[in-house]
Amino acid sequence: MEAYKRWVRRNKEYVHSLESLANGLTWLLPERFSSSEIGPEAVTAILGVITAINEHIIDTAPSQIHTGHPAPSAFPYSLCISALKDLETLVEVVAQHYYGDTKKWNFIAATEAIKFLVRLAMFRNSGYRMLLQGGEIPNSEEKLEVCSSQSRHGDFRKPGFYSGPGSFRNCVGQNGWNLEGRALSALNRFGENARMVSDPVWLRRVQQQNAIMEPLAPKAETSTLSSILSEKGVHGSLYLMGEILFISRPLIYVLFIRKYGTWSWTPWFLSLAMDVFGVGIFSQVTLSGCGSEDRKFQYTTSEKDELKRRKLLWALYLMRDPFFSKYTRERLDRAERLLEPVPLFGALTAKVIELIFGAQTRYTYMSGS
């Protein structure tokens, strides 16, 4: 296994290209969206799991581990979530083949319940950081805390103090460090460079080896539920509510489909309301300014991208029944008839629409979970 890990890490670009090619070819497998598609879906699921394992191997390479990050969990939550997402379509197909269209929702609900528990555990274990890509990507981007009330009176504090999910404290002026802080930082760097020049080569090598063996910076403390609620107050409660809504939305959606059916508007509207309300909560807990007693959150670049991704997922509601059967399908049929006479382009459009119709019949392709 160690030899395979080393090979994957040395040839990660080649591995990515091979995986992309293999996953793309699975869409061309015969009977992909027929009643007997267990075989093609099994191939797709196996390739997906292998891809997830390779990504986990690359992400956990020693060179990818940065100082100051929270200690990695012994349980690979992100790998578990990725594997579940790759296997859920196979579960749906097998359940539909052997138990029918109605009872398959029991198995889909069980799969979503497992994903909900794993994501909830990951959310707690990560110090209540926002889940990226539904938990498939660990949220390890650092947020700096630069100040306290003393910094306004000239007391400089080094950056790098983490204070929970989405927090960024910078009260030493509106645009970063003050003049005193920058001067001290420049003097510190000058002293370090001068000392390295004066040190003999053998001593610097010993220091570099010791730096590899020992952590260079203290690890960030993991936030707890009580610390978020006590430090952030109402905004902390809203942040937790928004993320739990995102985590639980797929499970609630499936449970309502199981009760009312796919042709009911109740699950569709409820799921959309949860998504919109959850993202709306996050927009209300951004940083309000330094010095306020009830501090709000400011998100990292990765978290901002995640919020944009969640908004883009709203487009999937156009592909979910009953909206798809009532509105979207008619537009696609009209586009296919319009482009059918065009040579080559009409045939390509017909194939794409055929794949869209096939994928739409599967909950797991349009779930966005």
What was the pLDDT predicted at 210? 53
Percent of all residues in the chain with a pLDDT value above 70, rounded to a whole number: 68
Backbone φ and ψ for 145, nearest 5 degrees, come out as -120, 115
Using the predicted structure, report yes or no on whether residue 2 has a pLDDT greater than 60.
yes
pLDDT of residue 40: 79
Written in H, E and C, the secondary structure of 122-173 is HHHHCCCCCCEHHHCECCCCCCCECCCHHHHHCCCCCCCCCCCCCCCECCCC
Cβ(62)–Cβ(10) below 8 Å: no
- What pLDDT is attached to residue 296? 59
- Position 191 confidence tier, pLDDT thresholds 50, 70, 90: low
Predicted TM-score (pTM) above 0.85:
no
Stronger pLDDT, 250 or 163, i.e. the higher one = 250
CB 237 within 8 A of CB 229: yes
pLDDT tens digits, one per residue of 167-189: 433 333 344 444 445 555 554 55
Q: Give the pLDDT of residue 36.
A: 55
Predicted pLDDT at 112: 96
Is the pLDDT at 55 greater than 70? The verdict is: yes
- Per residue in 108-124, pLDDT (tens digit) is 999 999 999 999 999 99
Residue 61 has pLDDT above 80, yes or no: no
Say if residue 35's pLDDT is above 70: no
pLDDT digits (tens, 9 = 90+) for 223-239: 777 878 777 778 888 89
pLDDT of res. 80: 92
Calculate mean pLDDT across residues 251-272: 95
